[in-house]
């Protein structure tokens, strides 16, 4: 039987912050902000790009009441880099790497439950390095990032998680849905179909974020 923290504990803990860049991503996440007895969340639209993500996350965690110690999930769409990936696949980052050439990888240590829960829903889940970028990645650059060890790339996750940890220690995770991949790039016919698949998956994974949030409140053994 799954253990559920007491309602009083859940209400006392900081809400989950779910950060995304785009309006369409926030629309897919609608319903997360409802307050209930099992979990609470704040959906933060950061704007596009690492600088916008860094500013928005830093400001929210420092200035919004009650968010100072909140766990943070970076989510939204990404570009898959590995052969065989397709729109609607999910990427759970083992680590993120900034788009700048220097700096260590940021390791995500609490993603095992996310992976299990997503796979239990029948989703194709990939784990590995999620690379940051400050622009849309295409063609040969995409292949080079994969050769360097990344399984996917997006513009905000690395900046989001680093900004969150710079404000203070907290659990962080990055969960992205592939919207384009090798053989399914955005410039090709089929983009609309791929986008619809990714949107539906992003909408469907919302309960997994709540499961992750609840698991952080359970006593460690």
Show me where the domains of the chain are located.
7-217
User: Is 46 in contact with 52 (CB distance < 8 Å)?
Assistant: yes
pLDDT of amino acid 188: 45
For the cut 60, the answer to whether the pLDDT of residue 7 exceeds it is: no
Q: Residues of the chain with pLDDT > 70: what percent?
A: 82
**Calpha distance 210→117 (Å, rounded):** 11
pLDDT band for 51, please (50, 70, 90 cuts).
Answer: very high
pLDDT of amino acid 2: 43
Say which residues have a Cβ less than 8 Å from residue 149's Cβ, sequence separation at least 6. Answer: 128, 129
CATH of domain 7-217: 3.40.50.1580
Q: Residues of the chain with pLDDT > 90: what percent?
A: 58
DSSP 220: P
pLDDT of amino acid 8: 44
For the cut 70, the answer to whether the pLDDT of residue 186 exceeds it is: no
Q: Which residue has the higher pLDDT, 8 or 182?
A: 182
Average pLDDT on 167-189 reads 80
Say which residues have a Cβ less than 8 Å from residue 77's Cβ, sequence separation at least 6. Answer: 22, 25, 154, 176, 177, 178, 179, 198, 202
DSSP 111: -
Average pLDDT on 121-145 reads 89
For the cut 70, the answer to whether the pLDDT of residue 15 exceeds it is: yes
User: Is 18 in contact with 73 (CB distance < 8 Å)?
Assistant: yes
pLDDT band for 168, please (50, 70, 90 cuts).
Answer: very high
pLDDT band for 10, please (50, 70, 90 cuts).
Answer: very low
For the cut 60, the answer to whether the pLDDT of residue 97 exceeds it is: yes
pLDDT of amino acid 18: 97
Average pLDDT on 65-90 reads 93
- Say whether 32 sits in a helix, a strand or coil: coil
């Amino acid at each position: 039987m799954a253990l559920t923290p007491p309602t009083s504990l859940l209400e006392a803990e900081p809400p989950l912050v779910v950060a995304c860049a785009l309006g369409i991503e926030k629309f897919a996440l609608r319903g997360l902000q409802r307050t209930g007895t099992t979990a609470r969340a704040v959906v933060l639209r950061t704007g596009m790009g690492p600088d916008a993500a860094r500013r928005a996350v830093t400001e929210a965690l420092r200035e919004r009441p009650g968010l100072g110690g909140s766990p943070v999930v970076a989510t939204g769409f990404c570009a898959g880099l590995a052969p065989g990936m397709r729109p609607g696949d999910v990427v759970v980052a083992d680590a993120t790497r900034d788009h700048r050439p220097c700096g260590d990888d940021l390791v995500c240590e609490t993603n095992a439950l996310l992976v299990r829960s997503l796979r239990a829903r029948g989703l194709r889940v990939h784990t590995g390095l999620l690379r940051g970028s400050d622009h849309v990645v295409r063609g040969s650059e995409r292949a080079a990032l994969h050769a360097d060890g990344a399984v996917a790339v997006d513009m905000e996750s690395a900046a989001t998680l680093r900004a969150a940890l710079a404000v203070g220690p907290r659990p962080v995770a990055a969960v992205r849905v592939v919207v384009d991949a090798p053989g399914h790039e955005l410039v090709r016919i089929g983009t609309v179909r791929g986008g619809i698949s990714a949107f539906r998956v992003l909408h469907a994974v919302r309960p997994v974020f709540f499961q992750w949030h609840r698991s952080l409140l359970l006593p460690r053994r």
